[in-house]
Amino acid sequence: MNNNPVKNIVIAGGGTAGWMTAASLSKLLGNAINVTLVESDHIATVGVGEATIPTLHLLHDLLGINEAEFMAATNATFKLGISFENWRDVDKDYIHSFGYLGRDCWACGFQHFWLKGLQKGWVSEIGDYCSEHLACRQGRFAVMPNQDRNHAYHLDAGLYAKFLQSLAYQHGCQRVEGKINKVNLCPEGGHITSLDLDNSKRIEGDLFIDCTGFKGLLIEEALHTGYDDWSHMLPCDSAIAVQTKTVGEPVAYTRSIARESGWQWRIPLQNRTGNGLVFCSKYMTDEEAIQTLLDNIEGEPINEPRVIKYKTGTRRKHWNKNCIAIGLSAGFIEPLESTGIHLFQRGIVRLLQMFPHTGINDSDIQEFNKQTEEEMLNIRDFIVLHYHLTERRDSDFWRYCATMEIPDSLTHRMALFKASGRIFKKAEELFGETSWVQVMLGQGLIPEQYHPIVDKMSDDELRAFLEKIKSHVAKKVASWPKHTDFINHYCPANDKDTREQQKMQA
């Protein structure tokens, strides 16, 4: 398509997506390219996504980021999972934890052994067979030598962007201040040639990365790429965000509390708590949502509630001509399982793997878009599962979710699990068997049978097998310190006020 070498990279927009991209390209591609980030001080970023998943370790390893330094700089706490409260039904809660459940065998997952134990009355809740799950409930955490890194973070997204910005500067990234007034296209091929800023500057480039958020200034407004709307199966289209002073010690999990027409998040940082309400505007007004959120927060608000509007879905092409969408410009599924920053990262890593050093060609574009679409669809199905597989019928919103049309791919997964207890993960799929099992069981879908290989064990052998796993998990978690104690020792926040607050809590 274009045999000209790609040397000059222009990133439109800052925030987490922009500076994550800038830091990655600057450090990992080095002198082979020039990276320029265009950002306006007068355009606010969304900046409410403060929870991550364990895949962030991959990018941090590539960038050589020290975990304790990063956490201290971003007021971060550890995250071992998500507590889903009132999702199956009012007052019915469960945890989707990171890590792995029990022990699998070559033929089936651990849930099959647990299911027979359940029928026999030998087992407790399935989370007792997972270290991360039990640690969530007991408020314990540790980073141990040779330990699987099945943890993520709660972090301040604004401070994280600044942390990445510093890293990008160290490796030669240039920042240009200004608001983009015009995107200039080549008359012949229609690709982007330059950006005109409100200060009369013109920024030329070979490859443009759109990190302009929901607006999609390059990928959509200039290139008219198109958008697949998923709001018929992910009906929430609005969010209210507010920060509060810390009350009590931070838990090692995100709280997701289902409300009448959506759900509330509660994310503990070292210095404050992030709160929000995701809701559907068809069933709740902005004013009702703000009041609902303020009625259900803990601690004094430290800023005014902010309303954010969005449309769930995905861009029809994430790479179009010489423009790649990274971040919210690429699409938005919603923050229920904290996949936002993960998708930023996956787009960046995919670009690094397929970087068009010698020129942009259609085969690279097609493969990039194919992989991205598959990943988005798999994550979409997992999120839709939470809404659709529910026993709630107490409001119009939940009645709609329970009866709405869902993708055939999700219908198949649910039917397969109900009939046989089986989950099959695709090779590049984000959420594995443990995640699907925890959410389906948590939402009330109990398989009708277990794999017959379980019956190869005698009853005594199976009972001993289950008890040994549970005992090992309990002993392991009991050896970990309290979550707050570990943070105060390992990665106390850099700012003085937070350190003083931690001393008072101790």
pLDDT at 506: 47
Q: Indicate the residue type of 225.
A: T
CA angle 118, 124, 130 (to 5 degrees): 110
pLDDT tens per residue, range 129-182? 999 999 999 999 999 888 889 999 999 999 999 999 999 999 999 999 999 999
**Which residues of the chain, if any, have pLDDT below 50?**
502, 504-506
Q: What does the alpha-carbon distance between residue 135 and residue 477 come to, in Å, rounded to a whole number? A: 6
- Supply the pTM of this predicted model: 0.95
**CB proximity list for 384: less than 8 A, separation 6 or greater:** 233, 234, 406, 407, 410
pLDDT at 144: 83
**CB proximity list for 287: less than 8 A, separation 6 or greater:** none
Q: How far is CA 223 from the centre of its chain?
A: 27
Q: Indicate the residue type of 273.
A: T
Long-range contacts, 109-114 (Cβ 8 Å, 24+): 109/421, 109/422, 109/423, 109/433, 109/434, 109/437, 111/421, 111/433, 111/437, 111/441, 111/447, 111/450, 112/421, 112/450, 112/451, 112/453, 112/454, 113/450, 113/454, 113/457, 113/462, 113/465, 113/466, 114/466
Q: What is residue 301's DSSP assignment?
A: B
Q: What does the alpha-carbon distance between residue 114 and residue 6 come to, in Å, rounded to a whole number? A: 54
Q: What does the alpha-carbon distance between residue 181 and residue 214 come to, in Å, rounded to a whole number? A: 17
**Topology of domain 8-50+156-228+315-360, CATH:** FAD/NAD(P)-binding domain (3.50.50)
CA distances from 38 to 7, 9, 209, 320, 331 (A): 17, 11, 10, 20, 21
The tokens for 205 are: 């480039």
Give the start-to-end residue ranges of the domains of the chain: 8-50+156-228+315-360, 238-308
Active-site residues, by number, are 79
pLDDT at 498: 57
Q: What does the alpha-carbon distance between residue 477 and residue 200 come to, in Å, rounded to a whole number? A: 59
pLDDT at 427: 77
